[in-house]
A and B are shown apart, each in its own frame.
Chain A
Amino acid sequence: MRLTYYSIFFITVLVTQSISAQNFKLQNIEVDFNENSIGRSLQLQLQAKTGPLYTSIGLRYHLKQRFSFDHTASYYQTMYPVNFIQRFGPILKVIYEFQPKNFYASFFCGFKTELAFMARRLINRDGTGILSPRFLHTKSPMIRWDNLLIVGSIIPVSPKIKFRIYAGVGGSGLFRIVEENHIFLAALNGRTSDYATTIGCGLTYNLFDKNEVNTN
């Protein structure tokens, strides 16, 4: 169990080190509020620039949400951390930024991937009428891997700060689905895939320089 976390931490450090050693230049720190198919999270990322591409590596902190579900779903399924370390997960983002003429704002598109290691919560609805539903948790940790194509805009706030807003669509891979299979036969070998979407906004702080606003 701990081995999985240590492995990811180790790989993240190695990737970051090797990236920093080349022609990458650490440039921004990003703080995001994000909602995707894993759940709602706060995200902290370091962003480096190499040519026209920006690469961000960071961590997500999963927010536990109040139980709510909609009319059309028989079961409510969402990723749910059952211990503190499961709130954290790695993020990798690579984007291309485009600055149109006559715009102060710039636009970007790219790829974003996120990993979550936590349980998935199912709700037995029998108790909802009396406000005492029971939660069933999948064997922990289950893995959800989001891969998303994102588009967004970066808007200047001050010479050091920019505001970002973005959305994306993609696919999720779900692994280690064990206990759910007595209800959901869709993952007989413990794996399945799902449609995924994301929406988010955040602030970018320029660590070393000042943002230059396009005034053409």
Chain B
Amino acid sequence: MHSKYYLVIIFFTFFFTIACYSQPNFKLQNINIDFNENSIGRSFQLQLQAKTGALLTSVGLRYQEKLPVRYNFGNLFYRKMYPVKLIQHFGPILEISYNYQPKNFYASFFAGYKTEVGIMARRILKLDDIRTRTSTYYHTKSPMVRWDNQFIVGSSMPITPKIKLRVYGGVGVSGLFKVVEENQSFPEAPNGRMHEFSASYGCGLSYQLFGKNVLNKG
């Protein structure tokens, strides 16, 4: 069952990538390494970025970090996506952005769409148990699917002729699928699906594979 999901995603990612890169006006340009935090969780991201006209398209993988348990005053239960095995650390990313270079700026700015999929369990912490420092975790049936869709804006700043620093933030909506076991506590997803507000921020380095960044001098 799990293997089927992964195979389908790998299949689509592979064919989408091939279709993109086989277009004559696509030009592989950058490799991006990001640190990102969004509603799926904290992750490191590796993306290949191609340019077609004014648009930059990135395809890559996210590696989910496991975080220590934290919960907020405002939440009765703590819920976070949580990988229960190695393959669940990984998920696909697609980003399409428009790059704008203002006059008299060395930095450029971008806006676009970014989507990520997390296929893993969701961890629920029962607060009553934390006093004794022996918290109990409930894992939802694995894998649950969280699909983030976000509008992002950011800036790309030159560090060297080959490397740029990228800083960005975004907001959007997450779709949650296969929400099964939680429904005994949270009857909000009676058909196993629901959606949520999501936000994201991140920073990373962009390495130009071919040629050199030309510094804009206005």
Q: Which A residues are closer than 8 A to B by beta carbons?
A: 66-72, 74, 102-105, 125-126, 128-129, 131, 133, 153, 155-159, 163, 165, 201, 213, 215
Chain B: residues with Cβ within 8 Å of the partner, total of: 29
Decide if the interface of chain B is mainly helix, strand, loop or mixed: loop
Q: Which residue of chain B has the shortest Cβ distance to A132 in the bound complex?
A: B73
B191 to chain A, nearest CB (A): 29
Q: Within the assembled complex, what's the spacing in Å between the Cα atoms of A69 and B153?
A: 30
Collect the chain B residues with CB atoms within 8 Å of residue A157's CB.
105-107, 155, 157
Q: Within the assembled complex, what's the spacing in Å between the Cα atoms of A109 and B93?
A: 35
The B176-218 residues at the A interface (CB cut-off 8 A) are 203, 215, 218
Q: Within the assembled complex, what's the spacing in Å between the Cα atoms of A145 and B155?
A: 34
The reply to whether A156 and B157 contact each other, CB–CB distance below 8 Å, is: yes
Residue among A68, A105, A125 making CB contact with B160, cutoff 8 Å? A105
The reply to whether A68 and B107 contact each other, CB–CB distance below 8 Å, is: no
Q: A71-B130, A104-B215, A129-B128 are in contact. Are A158 and B69 (CB under 8 A)?
A: no
What would be 7 A-B contacts, judged by CB atoms less than 8 Å apart? A69-B71, A71-B135, A104-B159, A157-B105, A157-B106, A157-B157, A201-B167
Residue among B70, B74, B159, B160 making CB contact with A70, cutoff 8 Å? B70
The reply to whether A159 and B104 contact each other, CB–CB distance below 8 Å, is: yes
Decide if the interface of chain A is mainly helix, strand, loop or mixed: loop
The B156-183 residues at the A interface (CB cut-off 8 A) are 157-161, 165, 167
The B136-169 residues at the A interface (CB cut-off 8 A) are 155, 157-161, 165, 167
Q: Which residue of chain A has the shortest Cβ distance to B217 in the bound complex?
A: A213
Residue among A68, A69, A72, A155 making CB contact with B157, cutoff 8 Å? A155
The reply to whether A68 and B73 contact each other, CB–CB distance below 8 Å, is: yes
The reply to whether B106 and A125 contact each other, CB–CB distance below 8 Å, is: no
B2 within 8 A of A: no
B217 to chain A, nearest CB (A): 8
Collect the chain A residues with CB atoms within 8 Å of residue B158's CB.
104-105, 155-156
B131 within 8 A of A: yes
The reply to whether A67 and B73 contact each other, CB–CB distance below 8 Å, is: yes
Q: Within the assembled complex, what's the spacing in Å between the Cα atoms of A213 and B218?
A: 13
Q: A66-B73, A71-B135, A157-B106 are in contact. Are A163 and B161 (CB under 8 A)?
A: no
Q: Within the assembled complex, what's the spacing in Å between the Cα atoms of A70 and B105?
A: 42
Collect the chain A residues with CB atoms within 8 Å of residue B160's CB.
102-105
Collect the chain A residues with CB atoms within 8 Å of residue B128's CB.
129
The reply to whether A102 and B131 contact each other, CB–CB distance below 8 Å, is: no
B77 to chain A, nearest CB (A): 11
Which 3 pairs of residues, A with B, have the shortest CB-CB distance? A67-B73, A71-B69, A129-B128
Q: A67-B73, A131-B73, A158-B105 are in contact. Are A72 and B68 (CB under 8 A)?
A: yes
Interface bits B43-58 vs A (CB < 8 Å: 1, else 0): 0000000000000000
Q: Within the assembled complex, what's the spacing in Å between the Cα atoms of A105 and B163?
A: 10
